[in-house]
Amino acid sequence: MPETRTAGVTGLGMSVPSRVLTNHDLEQMVETNDAWIRERTGIRERRIAASGESTSSFAFEASLRALNAAGLEPAEVELIIVATATPDMLFPATACLVQHQLGAKRAAAFDLEAGCSSFIYAMAVGAQFISTGCLRNVLVVGADTLSKITDWRDRSTCVLFGDGAGAVVLQPVEPPRGVLSVVLRADGSGADLLKMPAGGSRLPTSEETARSGLHHLVMNGREIFKFAVRAMGEAAAEALRSGGLKQEEVDCFIPHQANVRIIDALAKRLCLPPEKVLINVDRYGNTSSASIPIALYEAVSTGRIKSGSLALLVAFGAGLTWGALALRY
Ligand code: UT7
């Protein structure tokens, strides 16, 4: 039996489109205004992919940066997991496209889809391969381009989302560093609350589905809001409990960046002071699977997370899915 090891983050990278779409730009597109968007969501601007760009474009760039930061050659990567709900195509997996672009010739590659919780799920899966002793070099990427499935006439959703990717390299590390605990949950009874109805096997693409706009994301925002605060609160508390950690030990709290009001309510519920809570939804909007790795990257690169810091990551999303992960950086 291979020995048990702890998986830790040894390199990070991110990539977002260069095009910025501000709230004022959106005022020209739908009946909305900057004040409403800022008050209800905390978002000021988001990054939107150009027509030639896709999820793999950002996943590739973020991956390259994470590998450089970890000092790892693409040929040394053994597994690539791309966490995404907006793959380049239904198949093949976007992870395979990234694998080819990187020249990661020895790597297995697959996508993982758990809505906006995909990155936490993918981190958990990647960490397992390391802790069982199977693999030493795993690349986990959270990447989405929700702008590609957004109905740009629907003001209740089009103001919320942005595009981008974040990537981490997972490798064995010495305790006390590494992934300390993981909580993953799902409840498919809420599947209709957030979905893209057409384009799969239930409602294959047809002229009728295209005409009816069924290839866009649809969401019950109010229900998702209530679910988000409760589910993330429970998952975060459980991740601390199962890791034998106390809430006051958390140095940086990184929740999925969907809405600043959700984040504030959650932080209050967990009794976490504002200075420990990472918020960048104002600059990127909700980037789905990319939101946590982008926030993690920014926390590390600005020194908010240092070697030995305890980060608590927590997410919720379509499925419904939710989860939390405690990481000693
Ligand atoms: O990764 C997971 C993704 N999903 C989420 O995180 C969504 C969670 N939910 C939310 O963030 C919030 O529910 C929203 C930001 C989506 C909406 O905020 P809300 O405070 O729940 O607003 P609401 O849906 O209750 O709408 C309030 C009003 C409505 O008008 P009436 O019926 O009161 O006249 C909406 O039509 O605001 C109107 N409205 C807007 N007005 C200006 C909805 N969208 C807009 C808009 N601009 N963009």
What does 277-315 look like in DSSP terms, one character per residue? B---HHHH-B-GGGHHHHHHHHHHHTTSS-TT-EEEEEE
Q: Could you confirm whether 100 is annotated as catalytic? A: no
If we measure between CA atoms, which residue out of 4, 9, 36 comes closest to residue 179?
9
Whole-number Å distance, alpha carbon 211 to ligand 1 midpoint, is: 25
State the Cα–Cα distance between residues 81 and 112, nearest whole angstrom: 7
Q: What does the block give as tokens for 278?
A: 């990472």
Return residue ranges of the chain for CATH 3.40.47.10.
6-175, 180-328
User: How remote is the CA of residue 40 from the centroid of ligand 1, in Å?
Assistant: 7
Site residues for ligand 1, CB cut-off 6 Å = 32, 36-37, 40-41, 116, 155-156, 159, 219, 221-222, 224-225, 228, 258-259, 286, 317
On the question of pLDDT at 3 being above 80, the answer is: no
Write the pLDDT tens digit of every residue in 38-68.
Answer: 999 999 999 999 999 999 999 999 999 999 9
Q: What is the mean pLDDT of residues 220-248?
A: 97
pLDDT at 1 > cutoff 70? no
Q: How far apart are CA 94 and CA 118, in angstroms?
A: 14
Task: Tell me if residue 40 falls in helix, strand or coil.
Answer: helix
C-alpha to C-alpha distance for 245 and 184, rounded to whole angstroms: 18
For the entire predicted model, the pTM comes to 0.97
Q: What is the pLDDT of residue 303?
A: 97
Is the distance from CB of 139 to CB of 107 less than 8 angstroms? yes
**Averaged pLDDT for residues 142-163:** 98
Residue 282 CB contacts under 8 Å (≥ 6 apart), including other chains: 42, 43, 44, 45, 260
pLDDT tens digit sequence for 71-96: 999 999 999 999 999 999 999 999 99
Selecting among 96, 116, 158, 252, the annotated active-site residue is 116
Domain range 6-175, CATH class = alpha beta
116 is catalytic: yes
Residues present in the chain in total: 329
Q: Please name the fold of domain 180-328.
A: Peroxisomal Thiolase; Chain A, domain 1 (3.40.47)
Write down the pLDDT at residue 4: 72
- CA atoms lying within 13 Å on the CB side of residue 285: 25
E strands within the chain?
A: 6-15, 20-22, 45-47, 79-83, 108-112, 138-145, 163-173, 178-186, 194-195, 218-219, 252-255, 310-317, 321-328
